[in-house]
Structure 1
Amino acid sequence: MCGLVFGIFLIVKCLCRGSGSLPFKDCLDHHHILLFLLILFLTSLAIVASSFVCVTNQKTLKRTEKLKDSVLGIGEDALGTLRRVIKKMKQMQFLLLPYNQQITRNLNTTIESFRSDSRVIRRFLDSSGRIFDKAIHTSYIAHLVVVAVNVAMLIAALVLLLLLWRPGFITIIFCCWMLTSLCWVLTGFDFFLHTLAEDACFAFEEFEQNPQNSSLSSVLPCMKDSDAAKLMTRIGFTIHNFISELNAKMSEIYGILGIDKQAQQMIGIIKICEPFTGPPDYSYIPNACSQNAIPVGDLPKILARFTCGGEEKAEDCEKGGKFLPEASYNIAHAYSRSVQDFLDIYPDLQSLSECSFIKNKISEILLHQCRPLKLALRLLWVSMLSLSIIMLVLVFAWLARAFLCSNSSSLSMFSRTRARTPESG
């Protein structure tokens, strides 16, 4: 505000006096050459500092956009996982609808809950993405515009200083004073961004160490490790028992058909693949099945050999060894396919319950992005701080130069006036 009032005062004073260009010798005779050299030196420093600001501003933009993509990528990963889970659960719901209403209702409740979570995440990503982009690019453009205009003013001030056009030089001083104020505002904003980046990285470290007691727990809610382990153990226990019962039934079928183990090996079917270990953990190991074990989803293909179709006669079915009614086959098909669908989404459910995809992404941010981003923001802040200090000193040097030239002009005019006035008797 003081610079604004002072600049207006100088401009009005110059215009009222109607002072044109000052003689070069009047200004040079009474101006210290060191001040002029100081102005040249400070102008060079300001241009160098402006170059550093442009370079660090570009690096900061890239680092910030990369961090934005990583943070929003967490939400996109969550949405992709939820979409896969919802799709499989809808298939399970369709398959089990004619046979088990209770499971269908439970699946419907879970699907609606996941859909609600998906909508919340999508709204957060859309709003946060727009805010991120607007903040990042506004800061980038503001730095670029201020620095570009500042460099243009520096060159214009140097030219006007050499031409000794005082009104134009005073106007440039006023404009540069305003630009210096903007530089200080951007310096404070850069310091805020640097502090924000440090706080965010510290919050990520807290979340990585203890997700439940971190400052991000309300934004990225995760189950306790013990609760997640219990949940996945219950799921593993249920599927393990179901597959064990199927294997027992398959053994009974082989016994009814009179197929011994050697014949079973020739057929290539011994048991259904059991991807879970036994008690107490019931860990999921998808590649632990033997080569001659079939996935539970392929069970209908095996049962189709022994299924008597609705259009086939009972005598023909008995002759062909088809003893399984079509209704029983349909039930077995629905349950086996549903279990296979559940096994397909089991890794996704495990990732959701344990927040593993969030933890992995945050670990990647901490390892590869936090330090470069904080360094880029610190360099941008230091560059803007240097430019602001240099511009502040340079503006005062310009003011000193303008006052010295003004005083020399006044003294010269006074001397010429006395020389033309006749001496009194």
Structure 2
Amino acid sequence: MSNFKLPLICILLFTSLFTHNSSVLASPFVRPDPLNHFRLYQGGYDIRNKHYWASAAFTGVHGYATAGIWMIFGLGFGTYLMLKGFNGPFLHHPSSYFLVCFALIAMFILIAIIFSSLILVANQSSLHRSKTLMDTIFGAASNMKQTIEAVMQGFLKIRALLQPYDRQTSELLNRVTNQMRKETVSIQNFVEEARQASNRAMKAVYIANLVFVTANMVVLVTGCVILFLHWYPGFIILTVVCWILTTVSWILTGFDFFFHIFAGDTCAAFEDFEQNQNSKNNGIMSILSSCSNLSTSDKFMAKIGYTVHKYIAQSNSEIASLAFKMIQPNDQSDDSFMIQKICDPFSGPPNYTYTPGNCQQDAIQIHDLPSILSTLTCEKNTPSEICKSEGRFFPQSRYGKTMAYIQSVENLIAAYPDLQSLAGCTPLKHAIADIASHQCKPFRASVKLLWASILTLSIDLTILTLFWIIKAYQEKGRHFSLCSTAPKNHQQNL
């Protein structure tokens, strides 16, 4: 056992899992990037990249363009009315004409109220689901960081144990822990940056929709009051305010469509990884950490299993050899001579699977070795005859180094579940599986409902604004009774 050098160089394989260059999921479509002179953005899903956000936001250009056209048309129409005046000839329409206009305005106000309510519901739902989704993935990244830190602590203990006896392995472990420390900093930076970016985007969408819908509901209620009071100046003010609200509504339509695209990109990235399990072609995993694929992680864990398996096999062989030389059983005792073997929690080749429950009942557990070894160690000044009679066959000169290796293996086995979790990217895979299987469908549905509702409301407000103009034209110069639908002269003619 004293000649055995613990081959912890295999730990370097672990750090290689965190040093690949990040790659991103190929975007399902090519997008113009306004931050790069409208050149096509093909970087894929990367929420840390401002060009991704710019290209995704540009997908809502139809809403922004409609808002611009509507505003320009409104400015032109308003300028024309101010220059020419609103003095068209009075036409004597039947009372049914006024009633139809009144009914249509009432109908479109009702539609606006209904879809404003839907926007409030969808807005709250999409915020909640997007926060849940982001918290899931960021929580997995934080758990991964904590696991790496736990493994680092185990490696530091091993390094301290082996430093007096094996400087090469000790220095190797020092380099490994430094690399892992850099990885924890990288993950922490990602979580902070991505969380801030996503929170800003989610809050911007939520607040913009909430403020707009609140203002719109106030205007709609005010419009109902003006409609029944027949206050002509109110119709002019209402038309201007509705024109502005309609412009904002179309801007939000483009903004919410961008949010809809972002939701689709996010879920597509999760679902792609869930189906392919290949981090090299997926932005989700490469952003958080360059986790290995299945074959790489299996080889890495098999290497650790082989390390411990080989050490325990050599230890069992050397203990048996030392005991045989020290005790030297005679012919009568050959059959009864037996040394308990150290429990090997790993199966044999080729996989070296971790199976701690498969040890024999009388096998020595790794954590029991220090206390057992102390009872079998022959102290330096004790005569060999006394040690032989007491069954103390292990020389004290080997005790310190052997204990260091035993405790190192014990720490390595204790850290094995965490190593296995990291090598297989288990926290992230579980989080992604949960998102892809359970969260994406309702998340997409809530965001789609938000976009569809704001689009419908924008169309409704556009038509309603035109009816406010018609109603203002009807009201000019005419006298109505309170809550009536037709002017007094029409009522008298009837």
The residue that corresponds to 1:360 in the other structure is 430
Q: Is residue 277–residue 293 contact of structure 2 (8 Å, CA) maintained in 1? A: no
Question: Residues 231-263 of structure 1, C-alpha deviation per residue, up to 9 Å, x if partnerless?
Answer: 222222121110011112332344334687997
The residue that corresponds to 1:215 in the other structure is 282
Q: Which moved more, 1:185-194 or 1:255-264?
A: 255-264
Q: Which moved more, 1:344-353 or 1:126-135?
A: 344-353
Q: Is residue 276–residue 282 contact of structure 1 (8 Å, CA) maintained in 2? A: yes
- Work out which of the residue numbers 94, 97, 100 in structure 2 matches 1:34: 100
Q: Which moved more, 1:106-115 or 1:133-142?
A: 133-142
In the superposition, the TM-score normalised over structure 2's length comes to: 0.73
In the superposition, the TM-score normalised over structure 1's length comes to: 0.84
Judged with a 3 Å threshold, the aligned counterparts in structure 2 of structure 1 residues 264 and 342 are, in CA distance, closer, same or farther, namely farther
The residue that corresponds to 2:178 in the other structure is 112
Distance in structure 1 (CA, Å) of the matches to 2:131 and 2:153:
32
The residue that corresponds to 1:423 in the other structure is none
The residue that corresponds to 1:206 in the other structure is 272
Q: Is 1:272 matched with 2:342?
A: yes
Question: Residues 108-149 of structure 1, C-alpha deviation per residue, up to 9 Å, x if partnerless?
Answer: 111011001110110110111112222212211111111011
Judged with a 3 Å threshold, the aligned counterparts in structure 2 of structure 1 residues 351 and 264 are, in CA distance, closer, same or farther, namely farther
Question: Residues 156-215 of structure 1, C-alpha deviation per residue, up to 9 Å, x if partnerless?
Answer: 112122222222321222112211222222222222222222222222222221414523
Question: Residues 271-318 of structure 1, C-alpha deviation per residue, up to 9 Å, x if partnerless?
Answer: 2111111112212212222232232232111011123567x7658974
Q: Is residue 47–residue 151 contact of structure 1 (8 Å, CA) maintained in 2? A: yes
Q: Which moved more, 1:292-301 or 1:32-41?
A: 292-301
- Work out which of the residue numbers 309, 316, 322 in structure 2 matches 1:247: 316
Distance in structure 2 (CA, Å) of the matches to 1:7 and 1:346:
74
Distance in structure 2 (CA, Å) of the matches to 1:91 and 1:180:
66
Q: Is 1:304 matched with 2:374?
A: yes
The residue that corresponds to 2:357 in the other structure is 287
Amino acid at match of 2:321: E
The residue that corresponds to 2:42 in the other structure is none
Amino acid at match of 1:211: N
User: 1:399 offset after TM fit, Å?
Assistant: 0.8
Q: Is residue 377–residue 399 contact of structure 2 (8 Å, CA) maintained in 1? A: yes
Amino acid at match of 1:363: A
Amino acid at match of 2:445: L
Q: Is residue 120–residue 210 contact of structure 2 (8 Å, CA) maintained in 1? A: yes
Q: Which moved more, 1:343-352 or 1:394-403?
A: 343-352
Distance in structure 1 (CA, Å) of the matches to 2:216 and 2:337:
86
User: 1:80 offset after TM fit, Å?
Assistant: 1.6
Distance in structure 2 (CA, Å) of the matches to 1:28 and 1:406:
16
User: 1:78 offset after TM fit, Å?
Assistant: 1.4
User: 1:4 offset after TM fit, Å?
Assistant: 4.8
* Count of aligned pairs: 398
Q: Which has the larger radius of gyration?
A: 1
Matches within 5 A, 1:384-423: 384-406=454-476, 408=478
Amino acid at match of 1:97: Q
Q: Is residue 297–residue 339 contact of structure 1 (8 Å, CA) maintained in 2? A: no
Secondary structure, aligned partner of 1:278 = coil
Unpaired runs of 5+ residues, structure 2, are 1-70, 480-488, 490-494
The residue that corresponds to 2:243 in the other structure is 177
Distance in structure 2 (CA, Å) of the matches to 1:173 and 1:199:
39
Matches within 5 A, 1:293-372: 293-308=363-378, 318=387, 321-322=391-392, 324-372=394-442
Judged with a 3 Å threshold, the aligned counterparts in structure 2 of structure 1 residues 230 and 315 are, in CA distance, closer, same or farther, namely closer
The residue that corresponds to 1:164 in the other structure is 230
Matches within 5 A, 1:256-267: 256-257=326-327
Distance in structure 1 (CA, Å) of the matches to 2:453 and 2:468:
22
Amino acid at match of 1:404: Q
User: 1:408 offset after TM fit, Å?
Assistant: 4.8
The residue that corresponds to 2:187 in the other structure is 121
Unpaired runs of 5+ residues, structure 1, are 20-25, 410-414, 416-425
Q: Is residue 43–residue 154 contact of structure 1 (8 Å, CA) maintained in 2? A: yes
Distance in structure 2 (CA, Å) of the matches to 1:261 and 1:61:
76
Q: Is residue 141–residue 427 contact of structure 2 (8 Å, CA) maintained in 1? A: no
Distance in structure 2 (CA, Å) of the matches to 1:317 and 1:367:
68
Judged with a 3 Å threshold, the aligned counterparts in structure 2 of structure 1 residues 92 and 408 are, in CA distance, closer, same or farther, namely same
Distance in structure 1 (CA, Å) of the matches to 2:75 and 2:419:
66
Is the helix fraction higher in 1 or 2? Answer: 1
Q: CA RMSD in A?
A: 3.1
The residue that corresponds to 1:22 in the other structure is none
- Percentage of identical aligned residues: 34
Q: Is 1:232 matched with 2:301?
A: yes
The residue that corresponds to 1:418 in the other structure is none
Q: Is residue 323–residue 393 contact of structure 2 (8 Å, CA) maintained in 1? A: no
